[in-house]
Structure 1
Amino acid sequence: MTVETHAFQAEVKQVLHLVIHSLYSNKDIFLRELVSNASDACDKLRFEAIRQPELLGDDSTLAIDIRFDADARTVTIADNGIGMSRDELAEHLGTIARSGTKKFLENLSENDKSNAQLIGQFGVGFYSAFIVADRVSVTSRRAGSDEAWTWESSADGEFTLAGADRATRGTTIVLHLREGEDEYLNGWKLRSLVHKYSEHIDFPIRLPAEKAGEEGDGDESDELETVNEATALWTRARSEISDDEYKAFYKHVSGDFGDPLVWTHNRVEGNQNFTSLLYVPAKAPFDFMGGGRDERKGLKLYIKRVFIMDAAEQMLPPYLRFVRGVVDSDDLPLNVSRELLQSSRQVERIKGALTKRAIDLLEKLAREEPERYAGFWKEFGGVLKEGVADDPSSAERLMKLLRFPSTQSAGPDELVALEQYVERMKPGQDAIYYLTADGWNAARNSPQLEALKARGIEVLLMHERIDEWMAGYLTRFADKPFRNVAKGELDLDALEGADDAGTRAKREEAAKAAEPVVEKIKAALGERVKEVKVSSRLTDSASCLVLGEYDMALHMQRLLKAAGQMVPGTQPSLEINAQHPLVQRIGTADEATAQDLSLLLFEQAQIAEGAQLEDPAAYVQRVNRLLLG
């Protein structure tokens, strides 16, 4: 029989090396991953058999069998699921087609053995077999096919493929254990791992029955017995399920080794009958934000307990893509296709109900456990912000869940809710003031904040990249409009703490006296700015850039240009502090010095915005000339 030899994909070699040498602190995960893969194979067969009943044939009882042979030093995991063809064996076990693989390799280092939990988060669970085995063979026969193939490797950079004999469909994995791994040649040990990791898999997991005798003595019979509960946990009454069972099931459906933050379990009956079990993770997966909006995980979809889809993205909007769990409907047709799901009114109704349930859960967490909600916000706040724009029907509720630092915060992690902000608003303040910037320091030190700070007015500091886009959809909250302090006119005279009549008169006098200076600066800057005017925003700084009410923020323009996108040109206005000595000096300076000072005011304002100067060398020469004076 011909044996084909193939080289692993380069990334697989790296994964295997790290798995073998770095993950000994959590060896037990290999059984969880292989059993989960076997469960997926049974789920896929059950789904395909809806349209092709002949795939099941006479063998309609799907199960996962685990055996061990102490003499041969092997552990075998077998299933009668969908199976794999030759090409599927080569593709699934010889390559890693995941965008998160690079990130996985970066995080999984020999110096951080705790990162064993990563194995279940990046689609590389099969390779965990090499934690305990120095050789692994996989024999599989695809349902509906007469051919069987064996894949085998010793994790030495190559794998082989050869034809095999297998009477029925399914997959059998044989692990040839390394020296020192004899603990897994024990029925009691294998049972305990099934109970720990795979108790609620919806298929029987069978091991040889224990003979009468001392527990854990390894004496087993040839008869198989089911050792897991093998029932769909979500179909049981909430009162019958313990917190530990909910947590164990979460780990099964999510691939997460940590406990969930919160969960909600509900049965809806009426026009639309369905059961949902939704979890909010405590931590974001390592590749969560890197995958972006296209990296969706979704919910597991069942119809009358028949598995339909592993990642039913249609069941929740994209901004809730961090939610894990299952939804089981009684009413959707069993032959539903992905296209039909996308256009089904029933699905839209379920989606609306699940969205409401997920937001309810977050509102309850924010209201009753604000510290734990702060932990959630740190992990997933950036994703939840998308909902303000994506889901107008839920925008008002989502705004109550938003959290931002402000000018009263000691650091970027000290956050305020919009309701708190409104309660703290000053008398006479009729708007929610905010500022968007390209980072925490750029936000808190922005010159545009000076006059507001002087009056004790709190300003929300939106310093994450998504904030400028999201802010475009923030119109009103608690009947208060949102106001970007870096755009448009800013009338502060109505606010408590506004300048008294004498101070205002001095400011107006300085502004009138600065009119010749404004003309000089306009002439020096030309088309660089839309206009130059005396500012009401500034108290300490000499200048700042201000955009039109509906213009895109400068840092967002830079970000989009760097990404190769077309951005409409926007000319900012330059506002100057008429009482600043640098501005006043322009009025008495000669033409060359006035030119340098005007350009310097503009460039300083650009730097304060985080922009890169068009000609840094000319800026340095200009500063040097002024210093040498």
Structure 2
Amino acid sequence: MTATAAETRRFEAEVAQVLHLVTHSLYSHKEIFLRELISNASDACDKLRFESIASPDLLAGQPELHIDVSRDRDARTITIRDTGIGMSRDEVVANIGSIASSGTRRFLEALGAEQKADARLIGQFGVGFYSAFVVADRVTVLTRRAGAAPGEGVKWESDGRGEYTLEAVELPERGTTVVLHLKADEDEFLDGWKLRALITKYSDHVAFPIRMPKDAASDAGDDDADDAGEAGTGADAAKPAPAWDTVNDASALWTRPKSEISDDEYQNFYKSLGHDFNDAAAWSHNRVEGSQSFTTLLYIPSQPPFDLMMGGRDERKGLKLYIKRVFIMDAAEELLPNYLRFVRGVVDADDLPLNVSREILQHNRQLERIKGACVKRVLDMIERLSRDEPEKFAAFLKAFGNTLKEGIVEDHGNRERIAKLLRFASTRGEGDARTVSLDDYIGRMQEGQDAIWYVTADGHRAAAGSPQLEAFRARDIEVLLMSDRIDEWMLGHLREYGGKPLKHVAKGELPLDEAEKQKLADAAGAAAPLLERIKGLLGDRVEDVRVSARLTDSPSCLALSEWEMAPHLAHLLREAGQDVPAQKPTLEVNPQHALLRRLQGETDEARASDLASLLLEQAELAAGAPLPDPAAFVQRMNRLLAD
């Protein structure tokens, strides 16, 4: 093997941070390194198989795709070798030495959010290679890209302390070899039986053969037995070439009949697929035959993946797409709508063109049909949880309820079906327990009630304490308490359910019978001078001042027009940099309240102005609107309290 002088480079800052955490802090689930490195090797084989469709010569001289795992007790090394796509020099620098995506940054954010370093996080952000440094104090990578000349091999090496070396080497075969030089206290991973057990546990369903040297003593767990002839690692060339034994099942699980797959096998496949230590909450495995044939295996996680929480809506995830078992892409976003981005799984289609590209995916009618089937399967799973496993369903809503609500806006065709799955707190519930469905609400509506009433606020306590609820409580009308930030946006698109309109308690006119309307008109007439005085004192701070039919105990509240944005949402949007038009509120007052009576009899115009401002400002606070001048509000309160 010929080589050139090694070039030393420094890692980018955030990669160096990850490596520092890995080498000094990560302690739990150390064995995850093997799963992650095998997963990378499997991806490399998948990519080569796809590229070889258009360029068969990439497989020339080495048609088999497989992954080899071996160990050398004397050298204290573990070697993972694949015959996949390999990497060029530039790809090595981009994939290992620097940040090719935002995965590294989000990994660090997740560790900060958890306030602890845990190896179980490492696979979820595309930084799984670095898990090698959990058990190794030096890592060597030898790689040659498919189609490249033998002299274009690359050797990468690092001790994880901030620098790495890079040099050109002669490599006779394509693919990638990763050699882990184990730390002094990691001898357990030199046990052949241990490595085989970990492959079976984490990687049994990798669709390529994972091989280990066939050694009877090693199979029996004899720690004195060593794997012979580690190709590409610099091992003693005098050692005989090993006979290889396939350790994993090496078949695509989704291609097997459901009757032959155990629950444990489904769960193990999910954990490998989703880089998750937790069991999936539910899964659905289906084969569709006909004019368009395809297989789907879809999972609902039991907990939100960290990339879902840290990445937000911009960090899209999708399903793994295969065509006739040939891997096409890792995250085919076109197979599920954005609001179901938490779903993990595989789609394997029989009759899509094998040269499908991302551009074709965006305009392919067959994929639209597959997408529709996937959405149906996912909603079926969620409905089964709601019907048959209430505890799992409650956990699902806690984890993904707000994400599901996005479907009300994004998926018009399934809007009613999604709405049926949502749960809310209500004025008849206990605390913040979100257990009331829209069907529950309709089932106990009062006679003559024709609307589903709700209130939105930036927090449950604010919703439950909203002054607009007073008249509804007095009439024993249930109101849904919606306090998630997405609710106001969602309800702008969910105008009715089950033939019943959804109405905000603060918007529009309340439904009053003739006697109530007359009583309100009489109160407004009697309070006309007071209303005019408040309008004059507040000036252009309000659109109008009127007597409220909503209030029984509080002195004032804000009323909104039918299409007006709730103040707390307007505030959130402005904080996010959105351009939200200014809105003048309508102030509703309760003339029977002591504060209004005091204002009515107040002869000092300065104190009257303070009282009028206080009526507006407390109504704004209750509605979630920020005060334009908090200091002036405090001074007003102090003046009135001191009188």
Correspondence for 1:498: none
**CA deviation profile, 1:81-127 (whole Å, cap 9, x unmatched):** 01111111111111234435444324437997683211111221111
SS at structure 1 position matched to 2:616: helix
Amino acid aligned to 2:452? I
CA–CA separation in structure 2 for the residues paired with 1:621 and 1:24: 55
SS at structure 1 position matched to 2:181: strand
Correspondence for 2:238: none
CA–CA separation in structure 2 for the residues paired with 1:587 and 1:110: 53
TM-score, length-scaled by structure 1? 0.96
CA–CA separation in structure 2 for the residues paired with 1:348 and 1:385: 22
CA–CA separation in structure 1 for the residues paired with 2:214 and 2:113: 39
Residues 1:138 and 2:141 aligned together: yes
- Whether the aligned pair in 1 keeps the contact of 2:20 and 2:161 (CA below 8 Å) is no
CA–CA separation in structure 2 for the residues paired with 1:97 and 1:282: 29
**1:505, distance to aligned residue in structure 2 (A):** 7.2
**Alpha-carbon spacing, 1:212–1:4, altered in 2? closer, same or farther (3 Å):** closer
Correspondence for 2:588: 575
- Whether the aligned pair in 2 keeps the contact of 1:107 and 1:115 (CA below 8 Å) is no
Task: Say which is worse superposed, 284-293 or 131-140, in terms of deviation.
Answer: 284-293
Residues 1:6 and 2:9 aligned together: yes
Correspondence for 1:365: 385
**1:606, distance to aligned residue in structure 2 (A):** 1.1
Structure 1 residue corresponding to 2:613, chosen from 599, 612, 615: 599
Correspondence for 1:178: 183
CA–CA separation in structure 2 for the residues paired with 1:454 and 1:286: 45
Residues 1:31 and 2:34 aligned together: yes
**Structure 1 unaligned runs (5+)?**
495-500
SS at structure 2 position matched to 1:469: helix
Structure 1 residue corresponding to 2:602, chosen from 589, 606, 614: 589
**Alpha-carbon spacing, 1:110–1:338, altered in 2? closer, same or farther (3 Å):** closer
- Whether the aligned pair in 1 keeps the contact of 2:140 and 2:180 (CA below 8 Å) is yes
- Whether the aligned pair in 1 keeps the contact of 2:50 and 2:327 (CA below 8 Å) is yes
Residues 1:318 and 2:318 aligned together: no
SS at structure 1 position matched to 2:306: coil
Residues 1:118 and 2:121 aligned together: yes
Correspondence for 1:621: 635
**1:142, distance to aligned residue in structure 2 (A):** 1.0
SS at structure 2 position matched to 1:465: coil
**1:415, distance to aligned residue in structure 2 (A):** 2.3
SS at structure 2 position matched to 1:266: strand
CA–CA separation in structure 2 for the residues paired with 1:512 and 1:279: 63
**Alpha-carbon spacing, 1:210–1:110, altered in 2? closer, same or farther (3 Å):** farther
TM-score, length-scaled by structure 2? 0.94
Structure 1 residue corresponding to 2:270, chosen from 236, 250, 265: 250
Structure 1 residue corresponding to 2:25, chosen from 19, 22, 25: 22
Correspondence for 2:247: 227
Correspondence for 1:450: 470
**Alpha-carbon spacing, 1:111–1:552, altered in 2? closer, same or farther (3 Å):** closer
CA–CA separation in structure 2 for the residues paired with 1:248 and 1:54: 35
- Whether the aligned pair in 1 keeps the contact of 2:303 and 2:399 (CA below 8 Å) is yes
Residues 1:293 and 2:298 aligned together: no
**1:23, distance to aligned residue in structure 2 (A):** 2.5
- Whether the aligned pair in 2 keeps the contact of 1:98 and 1:122 (CA below 8 Å) is no
**1:378, distance to aligned residue in structure 2 (A):** 0.5
Structure 2 residue corresponding to 1:51, chosen from 54, 66, 80: 54
**Alpha-carbon spacing, 1:394–1:109, altered in 2? closer, same or farther (3 Å):** closer
Provide the alpha-carbon RMSD of the alignment.
1.9
Correspondence for 1:71: 74
Query: Which aligned pairs between 1:283-432 and structure 2 lie closer than 5 A?
Result: 283-432=303-452
**CA deviation profile, 1:287-339 (whole Å, cap 9, x unmatched):** 31332222111100000000001001101111111110000000101011111
CA–CA separation in structure 1 for the residues paired with 2:439 and 2:571: 32
- Whether the aligned pair in 1 keeps the contact of 2:27 and 2:118 (CA below 8 Å) is no
SS at structure 1 position matched to 2:582: coil
CA–CA separation in structure 2 for the residues paired with 1:583 and 1:577: 7
CA–CA separation in structure 1 for the residues paired with 2:563 and 2:572: 18
Amino acid aligned to 1:175? L
CA–CA separation in structure 2 for the residues paired with 1:214 and 1:344: 49
**1:542, distance to aligned residue in structure 2 (A):** 0.6
SS at structure 2 position matched to 1:549: coil
SS at structure 1 position matched to 2:185: coil
- Whether the aligned pair in 1 keeps the contact of 2:15 and 2:104 (CA below 8 Å) is no
Aligned residues, how many?
622
Residues 1:84 and 2:87 aligned together: yes
**Structure 2 unaligned runs (5+)?**
229-241
**1:268, distance to aligned residue in structure 2 (A):** 0.3
**1:163, distance to aligned residue in structure 2 (A):** 1.1
Amino acid aligned to 1:619? F
SS at structure 1 position matched to 2:486: helix
**CA deviation profile, 1:381-425 (whole Å, cap 9, x unmatched):** 111101111111111111101111112232223321111111121
- Whether the aligned pair in 1 keeps the contact of 2:300 and 2:342 (CA below 8 Å) is yes
**Alpha-carbon spacing, 1:567–1:107, altered in 2? closer, same or farther (3 Å):** closer
**CA deviation profile, 1:2-28 (whole Å, cap 9, x unmatched):** 211111122222212221222233111
- Whether the aligned pair in 2 keeps the contact of 1:22 and 1:110 (CA below 8 Å) is no
**Alpha-carbon spacing, 1:628–1:183, altered in 2? closer, same or farther (3 Å):** closer
**CA deviation profile, 1:14-70 (whole Å, cap 9, x unmatched):** 212221222233111110000000000000111111111111113121000011111
